[in-house]
Amino acid sequence: MTQHLLAIPAQKPGLLARLMHNADIKLMALLIRASIALSYWRAMRRADSAVDRGTLRQQRDFKLKFALSGDRAMRGFKFRCRYSRYYQLQLLSRILQQQAETEFGRRHRFASTGSLADYRVQVPLQDYETLRPYIQRHLHGEADVLLAGKPCYYATTSGSTGQPKFIPVTVAQKQSAHQDAARLWGYSLQQNHPGAFSGKSLVIVSPAVEGHAPDGTPYGSISGQYIQDLDEAIRHKYLLPYDVYCISDYDARYYTILRLGLADADVSLVSSTNPSTLSLLAEKGAKWQEWLLQDLEQGGIHPQFAIEPEIRARLLPLCKADPVRAAQLRMLAQQDPQQLLRPYHYWPKLVVIACWTGGNSAFFLQKMQQWYGQVHIKDLGFLASEIRGSVPLALDQSAGVLTIDDNFFEFAPVSTVQQGEPEFLLADQLEIDQHYYLYFTNTAGLYRYDLNDIVAVRGFLGTTPLIDFIQKGKGVTNITGEKIYEQQVLAAVASAEQQTELKLVFFQCLASVKAGGYQLFAEFCQSPGQPDLSAFAAAFEQALQQQNIEYRSKRLSQRLVPVQVHALAPGALELFKRRRVAAGVREAQFKTVPLTADESLSAAFDIIGSSAAQGNQHVA
């Protein structure tokens, strides 16, 4: 099978190229060891105490682990990027061989797949809903259904039907697709800006384990799982203990992050997937600055916050009194033009923030600067619960190199998808500045998987493209990672109508980045009074949270504001249709837009009443 798949013209690395590559890796390993040993010997001669020498040994171990594994991984990755088609087809061949005896593999004739064309015919494009029946059987303990054996873990995210997705993760994939890619990312950051790891790293993730499947397999956040699995030689660089991520109350979690963060000025790197989280953290720090400074001065964690007793007990020894530090920060806040305590006050050594910068992140990045100052941004890459799709290798750029070692990629130009006849291309066939839908096959049971994501090509490393996330495809909006689907909005509106007995003529849901949340513009059959409109807003909010677990999470963590419902004047649908036809849409092709991120579509609506769902209302 490998031979047939590789019959597609693919430049193969020659023997001399492979020998030179291996020799280069070994030589660099020797040089790295020698350099670290020399600097360690010099520092040890100047050490004044056993404590200093212990710290130096810890630093040496970190540098050896980080530099040796990082350099080896980076050189190997860049070598394979020169021959992307060859290594991509090798990967696909291995996947088909490994999964041939699964139920999915037998049904789609993996064992007899003789070419890439065969694979595309035998396996139509998949999404989570087409794979859900297979995954449900894995969740209940069956083996060899979608993938060989059983998953060791499930990454959770929201699904288009309102039911959560449980993305299978295997032991091998966790090592390769997550830890190895993270090593490449971290090593490239060290090369970009050595100061990024000169101090502590404050990293914000969700808990690794949020529950267990019926067969006992854990599920949760894959980023939390990565933090939990950190090597001891690296763990000491992370400021926050894992317990912090397990605090269930979001305000209590934010406060604890800030309480531990303010106590340590030696923070050089801050990381969170969403820049909106970092803006919110800074705003909370300013809101709670008196409590935080009082706790820092006297020790402890403010009793106002609902921290699980066992977690509070483990964290209290870390929250020592430091009146000198508290006085310094209080003085800096008083000198601030608005007398606010900001991250650049308590983390003066901060040089890099790691977060998303693609899609609509620019709005949140601008907001973040007023709190964190002018620091470098290192993009985390094309990330989803299903895939770590790229590794950015440069600072202040969102484009990242495709993870060709872990995922077999296919692409289709957006125009061909819109025409209903997608033209599938391999990674080395793409063109710079063109936009494509991305599909992938991985080692954990996702075959020709359609994320409904659009990416742009920004350049190449060898024959491997650097991609940038542009936006979700049709029928999905995204402000800060929640990924709301049209079907979810339709279901939430229907639920709100049923609960309140208010019927709609027409509606349009807007994902407003500027407002930081969702707004529902609705023409009612009968104009509602304010109490009825408020009830409808509350019912819609509750239903949307039930439909989408990521939306619920973002609401609970206050990264999204409550839904706001705007009642429109009678005749809104007809006026909207006239405007769309006047803008060039054929009357026969006119459609309402249930969900959009285009604020111009709602700009001319005649609003006669508005109501927002109250506070942080949420469902259990």
Q: What is the pLDDT of residues 175-233, one digit of tens each?
A: 776 778 888 998 899 888 989 998 999 999 989 999 999 999 999 988 888 888 777 76
Q: Alpha-carbon distance 324 to 331, whole Å?
A: 11
Choose between 136 and 471: higher pLDDT: 136
Is the pLDDT at 14 greater than 50? The verdict is: yes
Average the pLDDT over 30-41 and give the result: 61
Q: What's the confidence (pLDDT) of residue 619?
A: 45
Confidence of residue 590 (pLDDT cuts 50, 70, 90): low
Q: What is the mean pLDDT of residues 487-507?
A: 93
Beta bridge partners of residue 464, listed in sequence order: 461
- Mean pLDDT of the residues in the chain: 88
Share of the chain above pLDDT 70, in %: 86
**Position 533 confidence tier, pLDDT thresholds 50, 70, 90:** very high
Given pLDDT bands bounded at 50, 70 and 90, which one contains residue 10? low
616 or 187, greater pLDDT: 187
Label the pairing between strands 352-355 and 376-379.
parallel
In percent, the amount of the chain with pLDDT more than 90 equals: 65
**Would the pLDDT of 59 be above 80?**
no
The pLDDT of residue 233: 65
Encode pLDDT of 247-290 as tens digits. Answer: 999 999 999 999 999 999 999 999 998 888 898 899 999 999 99
pLDDT in tens, 357-389: 887 677 678 888 889 999 999 999 998 889 999
- Looking at 263-308, list the stretches that DSSP marks H as alpha helix, in order from N- to C-terminal side: 275-287, 289-298
pLDDT at residue 589 above 60? no
* pLDDT at position 1 over 50: no
Helix, strand or coil, per DSSP, at residue 383? strand
Which has the higher per-residue pLDDT, 67 or 277? Answer: 277
Q: Where are the domains of the chain?
A: 239-350, 477-612
β 504-512/517-524 pair status? antiparallel
The pLDDT of residue 164: 86
How confident is the model over 480-506, as a mean pLDDT?
Answer: 92
pTM (whole model) above 0.95 = no
Looking up tokens 């430049």 gives 11
The pLDDT value given to residue 584: 66
Dist. CA 439–CA 358, nearest whole Å: 19
Q: How many CB atoms lie within 10 A of CB 402?
A: 29
Beta pairing partners, 232: none
What is the predicted pLDDT for the residue at 224? Answer: 86
The two beta strands, 517-524 and 564-568, are: parallel
At 535-565, the pLDDT tens digits run 999 999 999 999 999 999 999 999 999 999 9
Residue 111 is encoded by which pair of tokens? 């064992």
**Helix and strand counts by DSSP (H, E) for the chain:** 23, 23
Query: What pLDDT, on the 0 to 100 scale, is given for residue 174?
Result: 83
pLDDT of residue 6: 45
> Bigger pLDDT: 564 or 65?
564
Position 2 scores a pLDDT of 42
Instruction: State the pLDDT at residue 53.
Output: 59
CB within 8 Å of 10: residues ≥ 6 apart: 83, 85, 86, 89
Mean pLDDT of 566-574: 92
Q: How far apart are the C-alpha atoms of 385 and 442, rounded to whole Å?
A: 13
- Structure confidence at residue 122 (pLDDT): 96
pLDDT band for position 71 (cuts 50, 70, 90): confident
Q: Which residue has the higher pLDDT, 586 or 426?
A: 426
Q: Which of 110-124, 136-150, 470-484 has the lowest mean pLDDT?
A: 470-484
Question: pLDDT band at 328, cuts 50/70/90?
Answer: very high
Distance, CA of 130 to CA of 120 (rounded, Å)? 16
Q: Which of 254, 353, 267 is nearest to 306 (CA)?
A: 254
Predicted confidence at residue 519, as pLDDT, reads: 98
Residue 335 has pLDDT above 90, yes or no: yes
pLDDT at 3: 42
Q: Is the pLDDT assigned to residue 85 strictly greater than 90?
A: yes
pLDDT tens for 146-182 read 999 999 999 998 766 668 899 999 998 887 767 788 8
Both tokens of 17, joined, read 């190229």
Burial 125-138 (b: 16+ CB within 10 A, else e): bbbbeebbebbbbb
Phi, psi for 319 (deg, rounded to 5): -105, 65
> Looking at residue 162, what is its pLDDT?
67
* CA atoms 327, 330, 331, 332: torsion sign: positive
Residue 620: pLDDT over 60 = no
Kindly give the pairing relationship between strand 504-512 and strand 352-355: unpaired
